[in-house]
Amino acid sequence: MKGMDKPVKYAYFPGCKIPHHLPEYGQSVETVCAALGIELVPLEFNCCGWPMRHDNELASIFSAVRNFAVAEEAGLPILTPCKCCFGNLKYAESRLAEDGKLVVLVGRLLAQDGLAMPKSINVSHLLSVLDEQVGVELLQRQTATPLAGVKVACHYGCHALRPGNVTGFDDPLAPTLFERVVTALGAETVDWDLRLECCGHPLRGRDGVIAESLMRKKLENAASVGADIIATACTYCQLQFDKERDGLMLNDPLRKAPPAVLVTQLIGTALGLDASVLGMEKNCIPWRVPVLQDRTL
Amino acid sequence: MNFFDIGFIIASVVCAVGIVRRLARWCGKPTSEVSVSSLSWHRRLFLALKIFFLEILLLGRTCRTGRIRWLAHCLVFFGFMGLLLFHAMDDTITARFFPAYESTLDPWQFLRNLFGGMTLIGLALMVYRRVRLRSLRSLTRFQDWAVLLVVGGIILSGFLLEASKIMSPAVFDVMVYDYFIPEDGSDITALKAVWAKKYGVVFPEEISDSDDVFENGLSLNEDSCVDCHSDTTSAFISRPLASALHPLAPALNRSRADEVFWYLHISLCLIALAALPFGKFFHPLTTPANLMARLGRRDAAKDDVPSPAIRGLGIDACTRCGECSLHCSVGPAFSVLGNSNILPSEKLISLKGFESEASLSGQALEAFAEGSRICTECLRCTDICPSGINLQDLWMASKKAVSKVAPDSNQAIRLMEISERAAPFGECSLPPISGLADNKESYLACVQCTTCTSVCPVVAVSEDPSRDLDLLPQQIMNLLRMGLKEQTLGARMVWSCTTCYKCQEHCPQNIRVADVLYELRNTVATRLREGECADERDG
Amino acid sequence: MIKDDTIYDVMVIGAGFAGMAAALFASAQGLKVVQTGATGGIDFSTGFIDLMGVHPMEEGKRWNSPWAAIDAAVKDYPKHPYALLKRDEIAEAIDTFTDFLAQNGLDYVGHSERNSRALTPAGTVKRTYRVPKTAWKGTLALESKAPTLFVDFHGLKGFSGKQLVETRKRNWPGLKTVRIQFPSGSGELYPEHMAWALADPAVREKLVAEILPHCDDVEYVGFPAILGLNDPQQVVAQLEELSGKHIFEIPTMPPSIAGPRLRAVFDRGLPVLGVRTLSQKMVTGVEKLGDGSFQFAVGSGAAASTVNAKSAILASGRFFGKGLRADRNSVSEAVFNLPVVQPGNRDEWHLHEFFDHKGHPVNMAGIEVDEQLRPLNAGQPVHDNLYAAGAILAHQDWMRMKCGAGLAIATAFKAVKAMKG
């Protein structure tokens, strides 16, 4: 299997939740990137700052900017598979650009750690790298077992998409990036009303009722349009649609709603990679057998 | 009963009581859900052997965190263990295996210096690391210095004891009295000449340095002393130390420094024994035990949920090396908020307090709760911990427990009555955070079109928005532009915002609705942590 | 700064009716289209497509034939943008536009020769050219004076069945109204959320069960426009099946559900046609390159980008759309700094009375164009590859003349046609 003509190299920013709470994402990201010729360099980053943004903006921004400084010392752009990490890193970038006082404050904190204010900031979400660096053509070429007939509901996730002028991810009202990537694997994408809505995970632990209602609405909507699976490209969204959903009552019909699949597991499957290297057995709501058994794989 | 026996008994009792109390604390916890990974017995045995050699004897985990630290620890570990086994416990161990054992004979004399030297170098490296790393320095507490001080004191006092004995004529006299039968008066003089020159004793009187006398002394020494006394040059630290102290020797000898240093050395050893079950002094026992209990795991998987006793062991296995805090993912939050409970090594101490019967209260509890909350459960501390503590499991368990007794700002708001929420911090005068919410320009363009509310998914799934959310996004914006910020802070809409940014994205007037809601949450969090407003409310 | 290397045939500046229509027509012509624009115009639409409803404004005269109204308006305002369009061009523009909406599940209905009479939430009757299919039966009910039930909801503001009945009962006797609890959610309600809830067929069943006891003696049931977010026709069809009555929607106060429905069609439909959409981004600068093409600076922050296009259609609207900017002294155009036809000084912008029937002169301000819809400066086109369409055009007060959507769609059509040559 061959990757891109020119290998691309990124500082890998998995974020805090992958190692313990969603190792299958880390595993499948690393496997798939290696297969596609994306070199991921592990650096010791700290938290992106998103979880603490509810408490203290300065802590959140400093946390984010410290990562930029670490990446700049290594001379690498950052790649993150988590949309909340991506969103907060971009938010910090935008805040630095608009607030000179903040730059001074953060610069002082960086200096305490022996770091310098980064001159350039370069952060990408995995999906953008797949779309722009790898490209749809290469994904198509490398697809060994096309996911023909699999109906995928792409779940965009909020923090990469909005606010569009901060994240610059895709058209915030009419995005097409995720569908482009999934279609390249031979799968079919479905249009669904709640495609761009929130998964509800950010409210876990803060307002459980709304967190679950949001999850229900989305799952019901995806089911009603005949999706086989919901594709995610964000640690928190997957946690919500897989791990948190697994906490529902055993007889809850939503357990039967389309299972959530990490985009890297989907790509890995299309590339013909083994289920075990994609961490598939760790998914709480299994998808590979129920969804793919009738298809030629 | 002499000083040593009395001291030893007291120290042993303190130590035994301390250990029993610790064990009782580990085992006294109510049993919780435990799961044990399903390993075969031979797999376990293999792992146990592996852990014993690689992780306990060779300190493999410490090596992962840094070469210098590993070197320092190895030096102290092997040096101190060596001294403990063959020197401190010479009666029980060394003399049994080596019947001709005498502490003043080589190799023992040499080994004592070697092990002591190793320990001292190791300790020096440790001190250097603590002083050199700014972030570690700020975390270093009394118990960290105490361990270094006591262990270092034992070794240093030992060397001083040895050096003072080397130069002491009083000790020489006692030995001569006990083991030497002079045939005439010149024999003592001859022996003194040899011991002054060769062994480094510093006599108050002038010692003859004629060759005849020295020759005679040598043969006497050969007959009576060398069976029990190797040349003190093999005491390659104590002897040079004695030489260095030569100018002070008369004074030291007069004041019987050897006895003073003996008392010091023994006292420090007894203090160390008594302190063993307290704080960091316990780690030489608990850390290996914990490493064994973990069987080499560095994760906190669901198939390996420890029992309360193992949890207790884990808490006590901390060596306070600070590696977890140096690598903590939310370390930057500590830099900004200054709450050391954000860092794992420090939070662990609070956790001990939280779990103890007295528990925590007031500021200490709030600080611990904040630290618990900010932790992102990234597993890094657990992965890196050289003692193999399952910190992840401790954090996840304590997070739940502490949130019940110390509500965060979100819970605090939700616990309020409607009337309290209407203006929860009416009297507070803390300055604004970053100014979006307090700046009227932020909403100048608002036309109250309700787009923010219409697109809000939280309002959409809420059964009765005005009942469950208090205010809707456009109402919050309206209050803010009228300068009524206090009335928005307790609105549950602010706290139930899912941060999806649809309001902000869809606003036709580019008002940063979601950013403003974040800022309102920040405002309350800051006010609660500063405590001023809460006091005003309670008072 | 993101750099897009594509050279587009046309940049459409604006995402209201005119911008959406221009992007649609241009891509249908096989042009490579890029579109920018923030939420605004279309999001506040009632969902009706007006051609021309009122003229002269001061008399408030309403017209049954939009074509006659257009002729009359053009006669009195020779520079009205409609003067630049032929009747069949206007008709073709509207048909193409509504065909596209229909393909995407949003059918429009109307007569070819005359306006339809549609109900407003205030109970008044508005003359409009095309109405959404889900509102169509309301026009039939109004026409036939059939017995009708208006349903409204506890907690939904700006829509009162009682007011509808009171306003209309004089010449429409068989009217009644009922206020019910919405089956999913209570307290303060918003149309979009109610529409969201009705995606669940169980909620639809509950809704019908709530109204059936009040339906014995009526043929039609009118609801506020909440019946489904993106599939209102299916929702209405199911309600009709369950209730056995004719069901229709009456628009609510803006922002109503009509906006999101229209926007969804374009957000989903335009990328499929190959249009590159840069939603929620404003053009912040423009430069004319040596070869005559434009280079635009678009958006701000992380989303800032440059876009190259051979030509451009300016459909940025007026003040709310931010196409025109008003400062203390004058009105200016935001992107190209085009000359704006406007009252001589600020005192003349507004009449004394806020509700003056004549309409305020500033609401006729805008860009003057030639017959090819190219903006003019001193009678000459400013750029031969720049066109303007929609509300930004001068010499019309679409809000009072009730010609907004029609004018926007038709001028967009004409601009694309002129650009194609």
User: Per residue in C211-240, pLDDT tens?
Assistant: 999 999 999 999 999 999 888 999 999 999
Chain B residues with beta carbon closer than 8 angstroms to that of A202: 498-500
Q: What is the pLDDT of residue A295?
A: 61
Type and span of the H or E element at A241: none
Find the CB nearest B508 among C38, C192, C260.
Answer: C38
C-beta atoms of C229 and A171 within 8 A:
no
User: End-to-end CA distance of chain C, in Å?
Assistant: 34
Backbone dihedral region for residue C337 (phi beyond 0: left; psi -120 to 50: alpha; all else: beta): left
A109 contact residues in B (CB cutoff 8 A): 332, 335-336
**Range of weakest confidence among A51-60, A159-168, B208-217, C397-406:** B208-217
Number of other CB atoms surrounding residue B358 within 10 Å: 7
A261 burial class (0-12, 13-18, 19+ CB within 10 angstroms)?
Answer: buried
Domains detected in chain B: 3-25+43-167+259-283 (1.20.950), 293-412 (1.10.1060), 416-538 (1.10.1060)
Mutate to test the interface with C, among A78, A89, A165 (most CBs of C within 10 A): A165
Q: Which of A165, A174, A220 sits opposite C301 (nearest CB)?
A: A165
CB of C42 closer than 8 Å to CB of C16: yes
Whether A168 sits inside 8 A of C268 (CB atoms) is no
Name residue A149's amino acid: G
A vs C, Cβ pairs < 8 A, gives 60
pLDDT for res C188: 87
Q: Write the single-letter amino acid at B257.
A: A
* Predicted pLDDT of residue A297: 46
CB proximity A171 to C under 8 Å: yes
Instruction: Round to whole Å and give the CA distance between A177 and C405.
Output: 31
Tokens of A18: 């992958």
Q: Which residues of chain C have pLDDT under 50?
A: none
Domains of chain A: 8-124 (1.20.1050.140), 138-292 (3.40.50.11810)
Nearest CA in chain A to C199: A221
Q: Is A283's pLDDT higher than 60?
A: yes
CA B402 – CA B407 distance, rounded (Å): 8
- Do B119 and B155 touch, CB atoms closer than 8 A? yes
Give residue C362's identity as a one-letter amino acid code: V
Chain A from 193 to 222: CB within 8 A of any C CB: 193, 217, 220-221
The two structure tokens encoding residue C360: 């305020």
Asked whether residue A2 carries a pLDDT value surpassing 70, the answer given is no
Say yes or no for a CB contact (<8 Å) between B434 and A57. yes
What's the CA gap between B171 and B249, in Å, rounded?
13
% chain A with pLDDT above 90? 94
> What is the per-residue pLDDT for C318?
94
* Ordered DSSP codes for A173-198: SS--HHHHHHHHTT-EE---TTTTS-
For the stretch A249-261, pLDDT in tens is: 999 999 999 999 9
Is residue B315 within 8 Å of B384, Cβ to Cβ?
no
Helix (H/G/I), strand (E/B), else coil: B171: helix
Does the pLDDT of residue B537 top 50, yes or no? Answer: no
CA angle A17, B489, B427 (to 5 degrees): 130
Burial label for B481, CB within 10 Å (0-12, 13-18, 19+), is middle
- Helix B185-194 crosses helix B169-179 at what angle (to 10 degrees)? 130
Percent of chain B with pLDDT over 70: 97
Q: Per-residue pLDDT for B427 more than 70?
A: no
Write down the CATH number for the domain with range C6-105+275-420. Answer: 3.50.50.60
In this prediction, residue B50 has a pLDDT band, given cuts at 50, 70 and 90, of very high
Closest Cα in chain A, distance from residue C299 (Å): 7
Q: According to the model, what pLDDT value does residue A294 have?
A: 63
Residue B222 CA from chain centroid, whole number: 51
Kindly tell me the number of DSSP H helices and DSSP E strands found in chain A. 14, 8
Q: CA of C203: how far to CAs of A250, B456, C230, C239, in Å? A: 24, 20, 16, 11
- Exposure on the CB side of residue B213, measured as CA atoms within 13 A: 18
C225 neighbourhood in chain B, CB within 8 Å = none
d(CA B177, CA B199): 18
Q: What is the pTM of this model?
A: 0.92
CA–CA dist B400, B406 (Å, integer): 10
Q: What pLDDT is stored for residue A264 in this prediction?
A: 98
- Asked whether residue B53 carries a pLDDT value surpassing 90, the answer given is yes
**For residue B361, what pLDDT is reported?**
87
Residues of C in contact with B510 (CB under 8 A): 38
Assess A109–B contact: CB distance below 8 Å, yes or no. Answer: yes
State the pLDDT at residue B536: 42
Strand, helix or coil for residue C121: coil
Predicted local distance difference test score (pLDDT) of residue B305: 84
Query: Residues of C with CB below 8 A from A221's CB?
Result: 199
What pLDDT band is residue A1 in, cutting at 50, 70 and 90? very low
Contact status, residue C182 vs residue C155, Cβ threshold 8 Å? yes
Cα A275 to Cα A281: distance, rounded to the nearest angstrom? 8
Compute the nearest-CA separation of C192 from chain B (Å): 6
Report the pLDDT averaged over residues B108-137. 94
Integer-rounded Cα radius of gyration of chain A: 19
Q: Which of residues 235-264 of A touch B (CB under 8 A)?
A: none
> pLDDT-derived band of residue A5, with 50, 70 and 90 as boundaries?
low
Task: Give C283-292's long-range contacts (Cβ < 8 A, gap of 24+).
Answer: C283/C13, C283/C36, C283/C316, C283/C334, C283/C335, C286/C335, C286/C336, C288/C383, C292/C384, C292/C385
Q: Return the amino acid letter for B253.
A: N
In the prediction, which pLDDT does B357 show?
A: 78
Distance in Å, alpha carbon of A127 to nearest chain B alpha carbon: 19
B491 close to B469: Cβ distance less than 8 angstroms: yes
What are the distances in angstroms from CA C3 to CA B59, B247, C298? 54, 80, 10
Smallest Cα–Cα separation from B249: which of B129, B352, B169?
B169
User: Which chains have 3 or more CB–CB distances shorter than 8 Å to chain A?
Assistant: B, C
Longest dimension (CA), chain A: 60
Distance CA C22, CA C388 (A): 10
Which residues have a Cβ under 8 Å from the Cβ of B468 and sit 6 or more positions away? B462, B492, B496, C187
How many residues appear in chain B? 539
Nearest CB among C199, C263, C268 relative to A191 is that of C268
Has residue B538 got a pLDDT over 80? no
What residues does each domain of chain C span?
6-105+275-420, 121-250
| Nearest residue in chain B measured CA to CA from A171 | B505
Q: In whole angstroms, what is the distance from residue C90 CA to residue C74 CA?
A: 14
Dihedral, CA of residue B188, residue B194, residue B200 and residue B202, to nearest 10: 40
**CATH number for the segment(s) C121-250:** 3.40.50
Q: How far apart are CA B20 and CA B74, in angstroms?
A: 29
Looking at residue C156, what DSSP letter applies?
B
CA angle B209, B215, B219 (to 5 degrees): 135
What's the one-letter identity of residue C259? G
Query: Residue B380 and residue B329: Cα distance in Å, rounded?
Result: 7
Contacting residues of B for C191, CB less than 8 Å apart: 454
DSSP letters of B325-352? HHT-TTHHHHHHH--GGGSHHHHHHHHH
Alpha-carbon span A73 to C148, nearest angstrom:
73
The string of DSSP letters for C313-370 reads: EE---STTTTSEEE-SS-EEESSS----B--SSGGGTS-SSTT-TT--GGGG-BB-B-
C chain contacts of residue B463, beta-carbon cutoff 8 Å? 184-187
Instruction: For residue A270, give the 3-state DSSP assignment.
Output: helix
Task: Reply yes or no on whether the pLDDT at B33 is more than 80.
Answer: no
The residue among B494, B501, B511, B516 with the most chain A CBs within 10 A of its CB, best to mutate, is B501
pLDDT value at residue B428: 65
Look at A94 and C278 and tell me if their CB atoms are within 8 Å: no
Q: Which chains touch C (3 or more CB pairs under 8 A)?
A: A, B
Q: Kindly state the average pLDDT of the residues A180-207.
A: 95
